[in-house]
Amino acid sequence: MTPRPLFFENVPLAPLSTLEVGGKARLFSQLHSAEELPEILLRGEREGLPLFWLGGGSNLLFPDGLFQALVVRNHLRGVTPLPEGVEALSGTPLMSLVAWAARSGWSGLEPLAGIPGTLGGALSGNVGANGRELFDLVQELTLFREGRWERLSREGLSVSYRNGPFPPSTLFYHSCRLRLRREDPAVVRQRCREFILKRLEKIPGNPPKVKSAGSFFRNPTLPSGEKRAAGFLLERVGAKGMRVGGAGVSEKHANFLVNLGEATCADFLGLSDLLRERVKETFGVELQQEVLNAWEHLER
């Protein structure tokens, strides 16, 4: 049996993100087993390339042109039931994990139903919705950092709004344990459906129907100390329907930036700057991107 090639050069990045934007990766690999990790790390070091860990590509903006990095797509998937919850590998799609938990009668993840991306990306950004953040449920993390494996308890880890305990570029999340509770599967499934319908009422749609990265900006705190939704502020400054090149603002939700056709990274950055300028002039607050610029999150 011929071994599966582990590395590829000049791989197009646009198909690997839900925005469908970006140039090419200088080097690309797909991680299917933890045993492949040392070889990937060694190749990156030998080539002098920083690593970029890629999950579902759902909260991400790749640069135009050649991305000078070793992009590693995480395919470690699987869920194992435990006495008080589950353990899941980081490449597991978040929607698949939520659906598995619902079918199996595990409650806790329902508020996150319908959110795209992988568990690893969700951990990195402490994804949240409907009053629930992922780290509300995390019990333990297994990760690879600075050449060694670590298992860390949730206690003592500092997280915040849309920020996991570590910068995205400093380590590789392997798996996590989630504390969930038992409940009738039919009740959990119904709750998931309700949260999904609530989500779909607000957003223009999920990929691949809509080329979007979800909420583009984080919800800010105004100078008065009041917390407001970024979408509300953007709508107030007339953001809906604005566009720069092929990048536009959804007519349905002002915090959803979409690829209207052949958008480039430069289009999205230009639109982002324009929107932030309008909000700053009107409300005196600087919006921060929730979508990650890939070139700012490289593991060196």
pLDDT tens readout for residues 151-173: 999 998 999 988 899 987 678 99
Residue-level pLDDT at 20:
96
- Considering 173, 201, 229, which residue would you say is the last residue of a domain? 201
Residue-level pLDDT at 200:
87
Q: Is residue 141 part of a domain?
A: yes
Q: Is residue 244 part of a domain?
A: yes
Q: Taking the C-alpha atoms of 107, 108, 112 and 117 in order, what is their torsion angle to the nearest 10 degrees? A: -90
Task: Report whether pLDDT(2) > 60.
Answer: no
Q: In the 8-state DSSP scheme, what is residue 17? A: S
Chain mean pLDDT for the chain: 93
Residue-level pLDDT at 207:
60
**Mean pLDDT, residues 18-34:** 96
**147 vs 24 pLDDT, higher one:** 24
Task: Report whether pLDDT(1) > 60.
Answer: no
In DSSP notation, 236-298 reads: HTT-TT-EETTEEE-SS-TTEEEE-SS--HHHHHHHHHHHHHHHHHHHS----BSSEEGGGS-
- Considering 76, 92, 124, which residue would you say is the last residue of a domain? 76
Residue-level pLDDT at 300:
53
Q: Are residues 65 and 24 in the same domain?
A: yes
The whole-angstrom separation of Cα 260 and Cα 290 is 20
Residue 237, judged by CB atoms within 10 A of its CB (0-12, 13-18, 19+), counts as middle
Min mean pLDDT across 1-15, 214-228, 256-270 is at 1-15
Per the structure, the count of domains in the chain is 3
**Mean pLDDT, residues 181-203:** 94
Angle of the 94-103 helix axis to the 185-202 helix axis, nearest 10: 150
Q: Is residue 45 part of a domain?
A: yes
Q: Is residue 56 part of a domain?
A: yes
Alpha helices in 127-264 (DSSP H): 185-202, 230-236
Q: Are residues 152 and 221 in the same domain?
A: no
Q: Is residue 206 part of a domain?
A: no
Q: Are residues 97 and 163 in the same domain?
A: yes
Q: Are residues 247 and 144 in the same domain?
A: no
Active site residues: 162, 215, 290
Kind and range of the H or E element at 32?
A: none
Q: How much is the pTM? A: 0.91
**Mean pLDDT, residues 24-50:** 95
The whole-angstrom separation of Cα 112 and Cα 196 is 9
Domain interval for residue 195: 79-201
Give the tens place of pLDDT for each residue, 244-284. Answer: 999 999 999 999 999 999 999 999 999 999 999 999 999 99
Alpha helices in the chain (DSSP H): 37-47, 94-103, 119-124, 185-202, 230-236, 265-283
Give the tens place of pLDDT for each residue, 94-121. Answer: 999 999 999 999 999 999 999 999 999 9
The whole-angstrom separation of Cα 220 and Cα 148 is 37
Q: Is residue 1 part of a domain?
A: no
- Considering 201, 229, 260, which residue would you say is the last residue of a domain? 201
- What is the domain-level CATH number for residue 29? 3.30.43.10
Q: Are residues 197 and 223 in the same domain?
A: no
Q: Is residue 229 part of a domain?
A: yes
* Planar angle of CA 259, 261, 265, nearest 5 degrees: 50
- What is the domain-level CATH number for residue 229? 3.90.78.10
Q: Is residue 210 part of a domain?
A: no
As a whole number of Å, the CA-based R_g of the chain is 19
Residue-level pLDDT at 205:
66
Q: Are residues 90 and 176 in the same domain?
A: yes
